[in-house]
Amino acid sequence: MRQFDVTIVGAGHGGAQTAIQLRQLGFAGSIGLIGAEPELPYERPPLSKDYLTGEKAFERMLIRPGAFWAERGVTLVPGTRVTAVDPAAKTVETEAGDRIGYGTLVWATGGVPRRLGCEGGDLAGVHVVRCKAEVDAILAELPRTRRVAVVGGGYIGLETAAAMRKLGKEVVLIEALDRVLARVAGKAISRFLEAEHRAHGIDLRLGAAVARIEGRQARATGVTLQDGEAIPADLVIVGIGIDAAVAPLIAAGAAGANGVDVDGFCRTSLGDVYAVGDCAAHENRWAGGLRVRLESVQNAHDMAAAAAKAIAGTPEPYAAMPWFWSNQYDLKLQSVGLSVGHEATIVRGDPAARSFSILYLLEGRVIALDCVNATSDYVEGRKLIESGAVADPAALADADVPLKALD
């Protein structure tokens, strides 16, 4: 049985960064990095953007080149899925039935894309966007694809729809709620992005639920909505969120509901077991202390740093301010902070100019910003959130007044 001082399950951003941080902190013990995919650890955001459009080669997505891991004594265990955890024996079990021991376990498995539960959801030609293999399967079908149906108006759905339009495909984007990004952004951002996608030729359907996927000879041929409308499609891409991949930890007794619960140092309720990234639910100061699960590269990196510091004996609690980004067409959406519980919003700048920001306020304080092609607002707004200062709403709305002047 193989044994590592630190066994990391999940070789995405969180898992890879944990290993990197441990070595940077001088940790000299053995490290095993177990990944379900056969590839070297790689960046995932390009999957729905420039990898999908062919503008970025996979080699440019690697978090580190192959030699890096060997030079730093990190043992990669690719193509290996962990299915069980035994906290008493301090082992994990793989899908193949092998056991790997750990002194400390770091769980960094991210999430599993939700699939359509309707009839036809498992037909060939129905895809999700989460890993290289899934996107490669989409790419393989593109030469014979003219019409694409994208289900879901979140970041993945919008980015994928934009990529498909860039490739010259006819695209219908189907969102069950009354606006895109409804769960993560304000209405002004939603309406702006809806108009942009329509201007780029997307057939956007809001308040539209999928009843079933139509097919012929076991392959998808279109989508039927609950109102009975049939939408022909050669390819269906589903982007309706992820479920945290934590079943083995929960089965082993770890506390958690939406993901696995961790404390400020990323420790789970199981001894010597940490969790980081998309799968880890933590009390976040920027969400007013609410327990949240954040799906972002920033969160994965910063939680990895917190876990590594705790393991290396220099604990420092996770307190990083959340930030996110999304590229669609020539638009760069940058968000900072969390708008949970906001009481008011301020539009700063002119959406018609395609450069503006939405500020979210709670008790007069700026708690979050969504910035479209407005990088200076994003940078300066971050400092405004950190200071907790109450600023004049009129000044906040005036794009000619730098946000740094209001801190």
pLDDT value at position 202?
A: 98
Mean pLDDT along residues 229-249: 97
The angle that helices 155-166 and 187-199 make with each other, rounded to 10 degrees, is 20
Q: Rg of the chain's alpha carbons, rounded to an integer?
A: 22
Residue range 5-57, pLDDT digits in tens: 999 999 999 999 999 999 999 999 999 999 999 999 999 999 999 999 999 99
Q: What number is the average pLDDT over the span 146-158?
A: 97
Per 3-state DSSP, the chain is made up of helix, strand and coil in percentages (nearest 5) of 30, 30, 40
Nearest to 376 by CA among 338, 404, 350, 353: 404
Q: Distance between CA 288 and CA 284 in Å, rounded?
A: 7
> What are the pLDDT digits (tens) for 294-330?
999 999 999 999 999 999 999 999 999 999 999 999 9
Please report, rounded to a whole number, the percentage of residues in the chain having pLDDT higher than 90: 96
Helix H segments across 167-295?
187-199, 247-251
What pLDDT shows up at residue 391? Answer: 87
Tens digits of residue pLDDT in 317-368: 999 999 999 999 999 999 999 998 899 999 999 999 999 999 999 999 999 9
* Chain segment 103-141, per-residue pLDDT in tens: 999 999 999 999 999 999 999 999 999 999 999 999 999
C-alpha 28/C-alpha 331 separation (Å) is 44
Burial classification of residue 293, based on how many CB atoms lie within 10 Å of its CB (0-12 exposed, 13-18 middle, 19 or more buried):
buried
Query: Tell me, what's the pLDDT at 70?
Result: 96
Q: How far is CA 261 from CA 93, 111, 253, 270, 373, in A?
A: 22, 15, 11, 10, 35
* Mean pLDDT score across all residues of the chain: 96
Q: Is 227 helix (H, G, I), strand (E, B) or coil?
A: coil
pLDDT value at residue 17: 98
Q: Is the pLDDT of residue 406 over 90?
A: no
Q: Identify the pLDDT of residue 407.
A: 72
d(CA 192, CA 180): 10
Q: Above 90 in pLDDT, residue 389?
A: no
Confidence band (pLDDT; 50, 70, 90) for 186?
Answer: confident
CB 13 within 8 A of CB 23: no
Q: What is the predicted pLDDT for the residue at 235?
A: 97
Between 261 and 388, whose confidence is greater?
261
Instruction: Give the predicted TM-score (pTM) of the model.
Output: 0.95
pLDDT value of residue 149: 98
pLDDT digit string, tens, across residues 238-247: 999 999 999 9
Residue type, 109: T
